[in-house]
């Protein structure tokens, strides 16, 4: 069984890819001159995947199940995976996002032993009523911590203001009440549905060779039959649920998130769409833009101001965020500038500057093993390669960006989320 060599002449980079006999997609991205290795394995099971069809049955799981499963997978009958990693010197972690769960480690030595731990971890679920119940207190504390985090609350409150039905409006960790409903049977159901190796991708980058990865994979991976699970998402209106939401927490300066909701289907955002939006936001809201200068001159924002894109299966929105003493005035100013942008489009000069900036940041991804692995996993789940991101950025045109603008930034379809101080 051989790896496929994938190369990019533009930047002289290459990596190796194979569909292993076990079903797992394996990507090995060697980086000469690096002394460390970074490994990441992921499945497209995140917090929004709370309804799905598997084996002909429709299943609804409690909110926070994907995150709970991430925690529990580190336990086995032999003990805790973190204890094993401590013996190899590797730094290990995991995370659950809205659309995926990933497990990772980085190391400078004993790579083979650490990779064996990772492959055992994702293939050895061990859930009992006692161990599942024990985790409720730990995750309950994590939930309370996020409930008290202004950065997290201002974002989640925005999602809840924008979305009527889509599970993007649900906290990734769920609530204390919903995680109390999780049982070993539910965790095994989700594990069997989403952790089939045919639905997973592993990327290893840095000081590594395809041969050593394949030798370990052949020994440790168990063959799995092809198995697909279909996530189900509710119908979501185009219009936002609410234009305004406010919460009070102990903050020195009020915080805001302003989201412009878009029409979305249950398909992923394409690489080209994402790049067009990134260039659009770079031109419209970066530190040299007229919008940024105007807000700064009026003392409405500070260096925390940022613009980003929220996009996935059934949800899409452009989001502006930062700190301000006048959230409503910032929102109105941004909306007025959006109206002008929709009328005039991005200029050729602004486009060229933004494109060069984005291309530079894209190229810099290939200098970091962790960034490489993270981008590889995300793009593989979209059916793309990490080099597609580079090529699309190099080839995108002004016309592409202005065409994309037509479906974004509706100035009448927005929500404003605000976190104010306790005494404000």
**What does the pLDDT look like over 25-73, one tens digit per residue?**
999 999 999 999 999 999 999 999 999 999 889 999 999 999 999 999 9
Model pLDDT for residues 359-380, shown as the tens digit of each residue: 999 999 999 999 999 999 999 9
Give CA–CA dist 323/330, Å, rounded: 10
Among 197, 231, 265, which residue terminates a domain?
231
Residue 114 lies in a domain: yes
| Per-residue model confidence (pLDDT) at position 166 | 97
| Per-residue model confidence (pLDDT) at position 78 | 74
Among 231, 253, 279, which residue terminates a domain?
231
| Per-residue model confidence (pLDDT) at position 1 | 58
Which CATH number is 195's domain given? 3.30.830.10
Beta-bridged to residue 323, according to DSSP, are 255
Count of alpha carbons within 13 angstroms of residue 179, beta-carbon side: 28
Residue 268 lies in a domain: yes
| Per-residue model confidence (pLDDT) at position 417 | 98
| Per-residue model confidence (pLDDT) at position 355 | 97
Least confident segment among 135-139, 190-194, 293-297: 135-139
Q: Are residues 168 and 266 in the same domain?
A: no
Q: Are residues 124 and 267 in the same domain?
A: no
Residue 398 lies in a domain: yes
Residue 237 lies in a domain: no
Q: Are residues 18 and 78 in the same domain?
A: yes
Q: Which residues are catalytic?
A: 70
Q: Are residues 250 and 192 in the same domain?
A: no
Residue 236 lies in a domain: no
Show the tokens assigned to 332.
């109105």
Average pLDDT over residues 99-107: 97
Exposure b/e, 390-415, CB count within 10 A at least 16 = b: bebbeebebebbbebbeebbbeebbb
Do residues 338 and 295 touch, judged by C-beta distance below 8 A?
Answer: no
Q: Are residues 110 and 15 in the same domain?
A: yes
Among 173, 207, 231, which residue terminates a domain?
231
Give CA–CA dist 3/16, Å, rounded: 6
* Structural domains of the chain, count: 2
Residue 238 lies in a domain: no
Give CA–CA dist 251/258, Å, rounded: 18
Do residues 20 and 26 touch, judged by C-beta distance below 8 A?
Answer: yes
Q: Are residues 114 and 33 in the same domain?
A: yes
Instruction: Give yes or no for residue 77 having a pLDDT over 80.
Output: no
Q: Are residues 224 and 278 in the same domain?
A: no
Residue 239 lies in a domain: no
Q: Are residues 61 and 138 in the same domain?
A: yes
Q: Are residues 217 and 277 in the same domain?
A: no
Q: Are residues 40 and 107 in the same domain?
A: yes
User: By residue range, what is the domain housing residue 409?
Assistant: 244-420
Instruction: Give yes or no for residue 423 having a pLDDT over 90.
Output: no
């Amino acid at each position: 069984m051989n790896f496929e060599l994938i190369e990019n002449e533009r930047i002289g980079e290459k990596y190796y890819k194979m569909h292993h006999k076990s079903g797992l997609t394996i990507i090995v991205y060697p980086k000469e001159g690096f002394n460390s290795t970074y490994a990441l394995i992921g499945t497209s099971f995140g917090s929004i995947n709370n309804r799905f069809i598997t084996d002909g049955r429709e299943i609804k799981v409690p909110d926070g199940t994907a995150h709970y499963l991430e925690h529990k997978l580190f336990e086995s009958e032999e003990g805790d995976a973190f204890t094993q990693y401590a013996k190899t010197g590797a730094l290990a972690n995991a995370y659950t996002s809205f659309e995926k769960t990933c497990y990772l480690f980085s190391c400078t030595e004993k790579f083979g032993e650490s990779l064996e731990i990772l492959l055992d971890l994702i293939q050895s679920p061990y859930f009992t009523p006692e161990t599942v119940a024990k985790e409720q207190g730990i995750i309950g504390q994590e939930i309370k911590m996020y409930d008290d985090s202004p950065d997290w609350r201002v974002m989640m409150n925005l999602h809840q203001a924008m979305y009527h039905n889509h599970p993007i409006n649900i906290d990734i960790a769920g609530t204390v009440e919903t995680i109390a409903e999780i049982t070993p049977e539910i965790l095994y159901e989700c594990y069997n549905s989403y952790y089939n190796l045919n639905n997973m991708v592993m990327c290893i980058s840095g000081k590594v060779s395809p041969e050593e990865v394949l030798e370990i994979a052949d020994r440790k991976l168990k063959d799995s039959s092809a198995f697909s699970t279909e996530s189900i998402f509710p119908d979501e209106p185009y219009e936002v649920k609410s234009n305004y939401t406010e919460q009070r927490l102990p903050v020195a300066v009020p915080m805001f998130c302003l989201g412009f909701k878009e029409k979305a289907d249950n398909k992923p955002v394409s690489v080209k769409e994402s790049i067009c939006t990134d260039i659009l936001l770079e031109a419209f809201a970066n530190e040299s833009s007229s919008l940024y200068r105007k807000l700064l001159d009026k003392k409405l924002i500070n260096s925390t101001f940022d613009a980003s894109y929220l996009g996935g299966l059934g949800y899409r929105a452009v989001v502006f965020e930062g700190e301000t003493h006048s959230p409503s005035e910032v929102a109105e100013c941004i909306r007025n500038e959006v109206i002008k942008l929709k009328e005039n489009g991005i200029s050729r000069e602004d486009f060229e500057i933004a494109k060069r900036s984005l291309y530079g940041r894209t190229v810099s991804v290939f200098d970091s093993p962790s960034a490489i692995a993270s981008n590889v996993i995300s793009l593989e789940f979209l059916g793309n390669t990490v080099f597609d991101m580079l090529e699309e950025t190099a080839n995108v045109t002004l016309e592409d960006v202005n065409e994309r603008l037509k479906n974004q930034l509706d100035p009448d379809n927005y929500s404003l989320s605000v976190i104010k101080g306790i005494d404000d």
